[in-house]
């Protein structure tokens, strides 16, 4: 389909197709610390200049070594919610220690769901054997969820299934992130729920009195989280639930991840049709969550992309531990893209090793990244080191994330010397002449953790890169710069 050109440059040829990945083991855990609502603490780094405002990544010659990934954000918050809805107690290990997980934990605390903290990476949740009800039915329970989409969307759905009055809100950017498609689906099931009519965004207001099941037809074009949220909430409805995608479903691997995790908690989702088309999902009234006893959260595959790309760019050899060929996360397919560009990739069930023969240059590719939108950001920086242009397609969802990622990526790649063509749902990145990256560029991060981590890799071009607000990585990977430094040769 032809898309309207919007501004500035990415090009070459390769279509990335992902099928549902096998459900296997998981990894990640959460900490007992309070939610971060004020200024972040300065990032403490041993090898580069760090202040509360900026952090300088000094020129990187090579990345070599083994890194153990923090737990997956998506899996961590899903595990916590399903544990809360289940019958029995669930020990969740390797929870991600980050802002987004703290927001979910704080919400469970407010709603009096018992959570026993064993460590920063291990908790036990005592399930409610059904929907979560407000602890004070006559009062409005106000939940502040920051910019955590993985808390806002699933909780908005799950709380409609119980009883009570709730208002779910967040930071100013959260009030710009669409949720109307999810609200529409919940209303079709009979929920008394609304968002801001003029914007289609939070705050979300809920007057819950339980639901009896039914059918909903929703859009899957903006975010797969809307479908995942409805699916996770459906088993605590008192009746059968059918959910249909009325147009197309983006980021289908995240839905496969959700369904695989639901199965670990005893619920089977019947799928009718093709996940890449307009599928229907059926959850019978008899399906109820039961604790698996314990669950291990898999390492975050999106976070793996920085180390995988770093090895491909520098020609070093890096092994990421925590996700591999058995992963349930779609973003592991980013390694395939690096292989297409010229890297050597070796797979094991729970790890990925990446290197590149020094005689092989990275080459530009043309990739449909609709199923790996988070990892696709890392491709934008890898493209700066390639021979020829790189085209990143089917990433309209970038515009709806923690920041307007399309414009942010175009702006920062341009600062580093690239020419970027921007279109509605794709971009074409033409690398700088002779792949020479500009030195001492200040990278704006737009309060977006992935912008900070992605653009740190520009230092692999033998230049200093100054990251503004490095503390924004606390959203998913507070120790990122330490981990990068631990395998870097300068």
- Residue 157, Cα to own-chain centre: how many angstroms? 19
Active site residue 374: yes
Annotated catalytic residue within 99, 374, 447, 448: 374
**Which residues are within 8 A (CB) of 223 and not within 5 positions of it... i.e. 6 or more apart?**
149, 153, 178, 181, 250, 251, 397, 400
Lookup result for tokens 């407010």? 110
Active site residues: 374
């Amino acid at each position: 389909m032809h898309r309207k050109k919007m501004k500035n440059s990415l090009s070459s040829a390769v279509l990335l197709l992902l099928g549902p990945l096998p459900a296997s083991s998981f990894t990640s855990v959460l900490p007992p610390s309070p939610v971060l609502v004020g200024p972040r603490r300065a990032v403490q780094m041993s090898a580069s200049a760090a202040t509360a405002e900026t952090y300088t990544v000094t020129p990187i010659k090579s990345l070599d070594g083994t890194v153990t990934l923090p737990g997956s954000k998506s899996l961590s918050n899903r595990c916590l919610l399903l544990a809360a809805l289940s019958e029995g107690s669930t020990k969740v290990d390797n929870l991600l220690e980050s802002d987004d997980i703290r927001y979910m934990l704080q919400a469970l605390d407010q709603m009096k769901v018992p959570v026993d903290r064993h460590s920063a990476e291990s908790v036990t949740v005592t399930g409610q054997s059904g929907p979560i009800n407000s602890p004070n039915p006559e009062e409005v329970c106000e939940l502040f969820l920051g910019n955590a989409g993985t808390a806002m969307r699933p909780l908005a759905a799950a709380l409609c299934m119980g009883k009570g009055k709730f208002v779910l809100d967040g930071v100013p950017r959260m009030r710009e992130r669409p949720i109307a498609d999810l609200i529409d689906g919940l209303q079709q099931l009979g929920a008394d729920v609304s968002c801001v009519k003029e914007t289609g965004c939070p705050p979300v207001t809920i007057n819950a009195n339980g639901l009896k099941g039914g059918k909903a037809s929703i859009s899957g074009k903006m975010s797969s989280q809307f479908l995942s949220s409805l699916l996770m909430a459906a088993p605590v409805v008192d009746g059968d639930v059918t959910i249909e995608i009325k147009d197309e479903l983006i980021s289908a691997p995240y839905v496969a991840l959700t369904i695989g995790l639901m199965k670990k908690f005893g619920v089977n989702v019947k799928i009718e049709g093709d996940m890449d088309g307009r599928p229907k999902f059926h959850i019978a009234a008899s399906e109820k969550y039961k604790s698996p006893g314990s669950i291990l959260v898999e390492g975050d595959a999106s976070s793996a992309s920085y180390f995988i790309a770093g090895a491909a760019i520098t020609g070093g050899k890096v092994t990421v531990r925590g996700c591999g060929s058995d992963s349930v996360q779609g973003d592991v397919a980013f390694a395939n893209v690096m292989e297409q560009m010229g890297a050597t990739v070796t797979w094991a069930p729970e790890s990925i090793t990446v290197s590149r023969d020094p005689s092989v240059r990275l080459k530009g590719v043309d990739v449909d990244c609709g199923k790996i939108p988070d990892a696709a950001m890392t491709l934008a920086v890898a493209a700066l080191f390639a021979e020829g242009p790189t085209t990143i397609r089917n990433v309209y969802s970038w515009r709806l994330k923690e920041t307007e990622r399309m414009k942010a990526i175009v702006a920062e790649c341009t600062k580093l010397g690239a020419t970027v063509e921007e279109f509605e749902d794709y971009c074409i990145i033409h690398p700088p002449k002779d792949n020479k990256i500009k030195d001492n560029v200040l990278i704006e991060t737009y309060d977006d953790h992935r912008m900070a981590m992605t653009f740190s890799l520009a230092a692999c071009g033998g230049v200093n890169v100054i990251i503004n607000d490095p503390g924004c990585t606390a959203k998913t990977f507070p120790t990122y710069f330490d981990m990068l430094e631990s395998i870097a040769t300068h």
